[in-house]
Structure 1
Amino acid sequence: MEFVRRLGRSPRERGSLNNGTCPDVFELSNGDFAIIGTDVTETLEFKLPADAARADYERIVVVSRETLLAAKRDIPDS
């Protein structure tokens, strides 16, 4: 599995001057997506809807609205 491309603008283009906060979205060679975000699992897992769950190896990650909207134009329809 390899990184194929970034979706949306880079963190620097979105205003991260020191690269201290760098949420990002990438497409992988297998067609999946990789997300760099803030791990909020401990804060939000007990607030998940009743029909949602996460495996031990999964984390709840938050990315800013700006990051996801910037990536939207690059997310394929299928």
Structure 2
Amino acid sequence: MCVVRRLGDSPRQRGSMAGETCPDLFELSDGSFAVIGTDRTEELDALLPEDAARADYERIVVITRDTLLRAKRDIPNM
């Protein structure tokens, strides 16, 4: 598996010149997506809806609204 492409604008294009806050989205060669974001698992885990579950190896990762909205144009419909 490898990274095929970035979805949306790069962190630098979104104004992150210091490289300290760089959420990002990538499409992988197997069709899945990789997310770089802030790990907020401990804070949000107990707040998930009753019908949501998280395996021990999964994390709740938060990205900015701006990151996702800029990636929207690159996310395939199917």
Establish whether TM, by shorter chain, passes 0.5.
Answer: yes
Equivalent pairs counted in the alignment come to: 78
Which 5+ residue runs of structure 1 have no aligned equivalent? Answer: none
Which 5+ residue runs of structure 2 have no aligned equivalent? Answer: none
**Residue 39 of structure 1: how far off its partner (Å):** 0.2
Task: Report the TM-score when normalising by structure 2.
Answer: 0.99
Distance 1:2 1:33 in 2: 11
Q: State the identity as a percent.
A: 69
What is the 5 A alignment of 1:42-53?
42-53=42-53
**Residue 28 of structure 1: how far off its partner (Å):** 0.1
Give the aligned partner of residue 71 of structure 1.
71
CA offsets per residue over residues 8-32 of structure 1, 9 Å max, x none?
A: 0000000000110000000000000
What is the 5 A alignment of 1:1-78?
1-78=1-78
Task: Report the TM-score when normalising by structure 1.
Answer: 0.99
RMSD value, Cα: 0.3
